[in-house]
Structure 1
Amino acid sequence: MSEEVIYAHLKFPESRKTENIQELDRFEIKAPPVSSHVWRQIALTLTFLCLLLLIGLGPLGSIFYTTLKRETERLNTLQNVKEELQGNISLLLMTNLNKSENIRNLSITVQNLATKLCRELNRKEPGHKCKPCPNHWLWYKNNCYLFSETRQTWQDSATSCSSQNASLLQIKEKSTLEFVKSQKLYYYWLGLSPRQDDKNSGENIISSARLKRYMNDINKMFCGYIYATNIFYVPCTERHLLACEKKANPVKAESVLMSEDPDREM
């Protein structure tokens, strides 16, 4: 009897512990779930927020579309204005080019007329103020010529011409040759290349179209001079007459049109 009591006493705590665990398990399993009412409120809130966003996006989209349309129209207008301005500028440039060309042609025509008129005036009145050459210089074609009676060496003659922005006479064209022949020049230095000898003296004058070259020892060279229609070579240290040439200045139209001397007192 006593053994049964002891066994039952020993078994009871363990059994009691097991029952407690089982009760706890049943309690956890049978815990009530979260109420569906809370989830419904959350869903409604999110839906409401989405609707508000959609409602707000409508006016924003309308404003964006209106702004985009207005700016596009403004950009198109500016583009049209730009193209119109470019067209106007191109037209103005073409007009100015045409006007410039007309002015240039007119200027050339006036210059040619003034030159012809000045030649006629100078023919009737030698030394007329319209002449584009300095005093004592002869005007022929587009050049001015000076024939001096001063005798100098070839190098001194070249220096004298250079000091007047001119050079020794050179005959490069047949028209110039005819002019030189008409002047009947004798013993005038020419702007020919000095030589080391005086061979071929008496050669035809047309060969004097060669350009002048300065030599290091000019005193030992031979230089050419004109005698009527021929060229002769003599030592460059000899003294002969001076013949210079240079380009004529353009004829001033006002000097042709003015009949009175502008320096004369009124």
Structure 2
Amino acid sequence: MSEEVTYADLKFQDSSKIEHVQKFDQVGIKVHLTSKREMGKLKKLQNFKEELQKNVSLQLMYNMDLCKKIRNISTTLQELATKLCYELYRREPEHKCKPCPKEWMWHEDSCYKLFHNYDTWQNSGMTCSAHNASLLKIRNKSILEFIKSQKLYNYWLGLSPRKGYATYKNLDETLISSDWFTRNTSDLNDGKYCGFIGSIEYVYYASCTSPKHSVCEKLANPVKIESTLMDEELDGRI
């Protein structure tokens, strides 16, 4: 009788183990299936991320190309407005589209003003500074021809003062001169010589304390596209 009980107990215990193993296997299968589904979701997310990055890159490239086109159009409009304004300026020197202050002449990207009062080289430079400008420097042929057209006489230039007297120079020879980089501006009363336009063709030197006229230059403001085009449209010219 005791042996049968023992056998029954053993059988019951084995049955419990089998059931436990079966449950574990089922859990393992569920875990495997869940992991497989999660991996699928992860792969889809990865694909979505890659597609999104691709679209963002394409959009950035498109935006950069669009910005470049807009810059080119803006540059073209600015050039057209400047040319149009310059033609208007030639007809009417004080046209409101002019990018220079009143009574200043406009040439390319700079403004010029003649001061007819007599003063020393240093004081003339201070007069220019008071107008956010500097004494004229002739550094290219375009400016040279413009200045020649003004037929100036006895106007200080922004040449660096010299210690000793120098003979005259042809204006054309000064274009690449290092003398345009002004220096040695202290102690001008101590026998220094400064350059000035003595005729249409030549630069001369005289004592920096001598009284002469002055010509100042400064950068022109950008031509305002809207005002230039609107003025012409209202006038019925375009």
Question: TM-score per shorter chain, which class?
Answer: 0.7 to 0.9
Post-superposition CA distance 1:16-48 (Å, at most 9, x none) = xxxxxxxxxxxxxxxxxxx98798677546533
Residue equivalent to 1:202: 168
- Which residue does the alignment assign to 2:194? 223
TM alignment of 1:87-166, pairs within 5 A: 87-166=54-133
1:236 and 2:203 are equivalent in the alignment? no
Larger Rg over CA atoms: 1
Stretches of structure 2 that go unaligned for 5 or more consecutive residues are 233-238
**Pair 1:168-2:140 in alignment:** no
Residue 149 of structure 1 deviates from its aligned partner by: 0.5
Which residue is equivalent to 1:213? Answer: 183
Aligned-partner SS, 1:259: helix
| Equivalences for residues 176-195 of structure 1 within 5 A | 176-195=143-162
> What is the percentage of aligned positions where both structures have the same residue?
46
Tell me, in whole angstroms, the C-alpha distance in 2 between the residues paired with 1:124 and 1:226: 28
Deviations 1:140-197 (A, max 9, x none): 1111111110221111111111222211100000111111111111111110111101
Equivalent position amino acid for 2:20 in 1: L
Deviation at 1:68, TM superposition (A): 0.5
Distance 1:138 1:173, change over 3 A: same
Q: d(CA) in 1 for partners of 2:155 and 2:8?
A: 126
Deviation at residue 258 of structure 1 after TM alignment: 2.7
Pairing of 1:3-14 with structure 2 (within 5 A): none
**What is the identity, as a one-letter code, of the residue corresponding to 1:223?**
C
Match of 1:255 in 2: 227
State the distance in 1 between where 2:139 and 2:66 align: 38
3-state SS in 2 of match to 1:72: helix
- Cα distance change on mapping 1:40 and 1:216 into 2, 3 Å: farther
CA distance in 1, matches of 2:77, 2:110: 20
C-alpha distance in 2 between matches for 1:40 and 1:158: 122
**Match of 1:16?**
none
- Mean alpha-carbon deviation: is it higher for 107-116 or for 66-75? 66-75
Q: CA deviation at 1:50?
A: 2.9
Secondary structure at the residue paired with 1:130? coil
SS in 1 for 2:189: helix
Aligned partners of 1:83 and 1:139: how far apart in 2? 57
SS in 1 for 2:195: strand
Tell me the secondary structure at the aligned position of residue 56 of structure 1: helix
Q: 2-side partners of 1:41 and 1:161: how far apart?
A: 119
Q: Which digits, 9 at most, give the CA deviation of each residue in 1:182-225, with x for residues without a partner?
A: 111111111011110112x2111131642212433122211111
188-197 or 65-74, which deviates more: 65-74
- Write the letter of the residue equivalent to 2:182: K
Separation in 2 of the partners of 1:259 and 1:52?
Answer: 96
> Please, which moves more after superposition, 39-48 or 247-256?
39-48
How much has 1:71 moved relative to structure 2? Answer: 0.8
SS of match in other structure, 2:93? coil
Alignment-derived partner of residue 58 in structure 1:
25
- In structure 1, what is the Cα distance between the partners aligned to 2:188 and 2:3? 127
Q: Deviation of residue 49 (structure 1)?
A: 4.0
Cα distance, 1:66 vs structure 2:
1.8
Give the aligned length: 226
Give the corresponding residue for 2:236: none
Over aligned residues, Cα RMSD in angstroms?
Answer: 2.1
Runs of 4+ deviating beyond 6 Å = 35-39
SS of the aligned residue for 1:186 comes to coil
Aligned with 1:63: secondary structure?
Answer: helix
Query: Gaps spanning 5+ residues in structure 1: where?
Result: 1-34, 261-266
The CA distance in 2 between the partners of 1:186 and 1:39, in whole Å, is 135
Q: Which amino acid aligns with 1:216?
A: S
Shift of 1:79: 0.9
